[in-house]
Structure 1
């Protein structure tokens, strides 16, 4: 198969900006990990006009997809977990071309999962967990049980991914299989929500209680990245300063709900400043622990 596909990647491999080429073959009849294609050619480039380009091909009785991805897009996927199949492609793909051992270093990075990168991913997942859980709880108390179910289920997914990251692994497509081995208590919450015979409102009620406990126990872990950023200066931070910080850009959409959660848990305190408006104060934020 590699010989047939060589014309698709050989010319690209000669370009200076091409960092690596990997080949991923379908290993079972039903294969969502390869988008149901027989083979994926995954080409990583340093820079490109388009951050992600995909082309589809046919040969003999098979289908192939060629993905050309620039380094910035790849790093974003790895950090945000927004294209989890990519982790599988990089880790398990067969290397066809590797400029200056870039792909080898990338595989090592994923396997070792550096602490700084891990801490940032934990912060992102915890912020999403807080947002989804608070939305689900509000919808539950408003009587919108199906919408509440959807948000609580998403919150559980973020809790599961956070747990996997905490143990030093990248979350994969089969994240619940990872969690069942790493932290079976969280897997039991997922089973309770998805397969219990209790009425849906009762299931959500029980999960809200369990999720409250899980969130409280993960708050110290989940807030470390934000607290590290906030410790860069002694003065309190305005919200816009936090939003504009490069290290927080990946989860600024959930930053407001995260900060409110940390105020409630007494990790952050509000520092008020007078404004020209009588009785109106500007809120700023400072870490207290």
Structure 2
């Protein structure tokens, strides 16, 4: 297989822009991290016109996919966890080209999982968790139980990912297998939600009670990064936050996260006068008891 596909990446590997190349083979009956392809070729480059370029090939009644990914895009995937397969590809892929041990060093760094990187990832997962939890609760209170169930399932998934990161690991494709070992309490909650014989309403009611405690117990670790950044200024407008390079990734989840933290006393609001009579700019700052 490797001999047949080598010409695809060999010419590009000689380009100084190429940092590394890995091959990932499909394992029979395994989790489909290769998207049904027999082989994935992952090529990491410094720069490119497109952050992701994909090409599909056929060989010996089989199929392969070439992914050319920029270093910036790869780091974005690792930080945000937006491409869960990338961890499997990097952990289990075979390195066929590695300029100055770039891939080897990247894999080592991923295993060590620097604490600051963990703080950012935990913050992003916590924001997604609060978004799903709050939306699910609103649907539940309006008796839209199936919609509530959908959001609660997602909120538990983010809670599971948060707990894995808190334990110093990257969430992989098989998240629940990881959580079963690390946080059996969350795993049990998920299983009970899915398998319980109770009515949907009763299942959700019990889960919201249990989730409230689990979320509360992880709030401080989940918002550590956000409060650290907000502590850099006396107060912030919402647009200031969205413009900050470390907060921009919170995006659509930031507004509801702020309201959640205001209700629980982690963030305070400052009203700043505008030219309009009785209209104020709403600004935010870390509560004094926490600063």
Question: What TM-score does the superposition give when structure 1 sets the normalisation length?
Answer: 0.97
- Residue by residue over 1:225-272, the C-alpha shift from the partner in whole angstroms, topping out at 9 and shown as x without a partner, is 011101112x11111111110001111211111111111111111112
> How far apart, in 2, do the equivalents of 1:205 and 1:133 lie?
13
Structure 1 residues 242, 70: closer, same or farther in 2, change over 3 A?
same
* Equivalence map 1:1-289=2 (5 Å): 1-29=1-29, 31-233=31-233, 235-288=234-287, 289=290
- Residue by residue over 1:100-139, the C-alpha shift from the partner in whole angstroms, topping out at 9 and shown as x without a partner, is 1110111011101111111000000000000000000000
| Structure 1 unaligned blocks of 5 or more | none
**3-state SS, counterpart of residue 34 of structure 1:** coil
> How far apart, in 1, do the equivalents of 2:286 and 2:29 lie?
52
Deviation at 1:39, TM superposition (A): 1.0
> How far apart, in 2, do the equivalents of 1:251 and 1:115 lie?
19
Q: Is the 8 A contact 2:26 2:32 kept in 1?
A: no
> How far apart, in 2, do the equivalents of 1:223 and 1:169 lie?
18
> How far apart, in 2, do the equivalents of 1:61 and 1:29 lie?
19
> How far apart, in 2, do the equivalents of 1:62 and 1:51 lie?
27
**3-state SS, counterpart of residue 74 of structure 1:** helix
**3-state SS, counterpart of residue 109 of structure 1:** helix
Q: Is the 8 A contact 1:30 1:36 kept in 2?
A: no
**3-state SS, counterpart of residue 97 of structure 1:** strand
Q: Is the 8 A contact 2:21 2:97 kept in 1?
A: yes
**3-state SS, counterpart of residue 246 of structure 2:** helix
Greater displacement, 28-37 / 177-186: 28-37
> How far apart, in 2, do the equivalents of 1:211 and 1:29 lie?
34
Q: How many residue pairs get matched?
A: 288
Computed over aligned residues only, the root mean square deviation of the Cα atoms, in angstroms, reads 1.0
Question: What TM-score does the superposition give when structure 2 sets the normalisation length?
Answer: 0.97
**3-state SS, counterpart of residue 4 of structure 1:** helix
Structure 1 residues 217, 29: closer, same or farther in 2, change over 3 A?
closer
Q: Which contiguous aligned blocks of 4+ residues in structure 1 show a shift greater than 3 angstroms?
A: none
**3-state SS, counterpart of residue 217 of structure 2:** helix
**3-state SS, counterpart of residue 33 of structure 2:** helix
> How far apart, in 1, do the equivalents of 2:82 and 2:273 lie?
41
| Structure 2 unaligned blocks of 5 or more | none
> How far apart, in 1, do the equivalents of 2:145 and 2:106 lie?
43
Greater displacement, 21-30 / 46-55: 21-30
> How far apart, in 1, do the equivalents of 2:70 and 2:177 lie?
30
> How far apart, in 1, do the equivalents of 2:195 and 2:31 lie?
25
**3-state SS, counterpart of residue 137 of structure 2:** helix
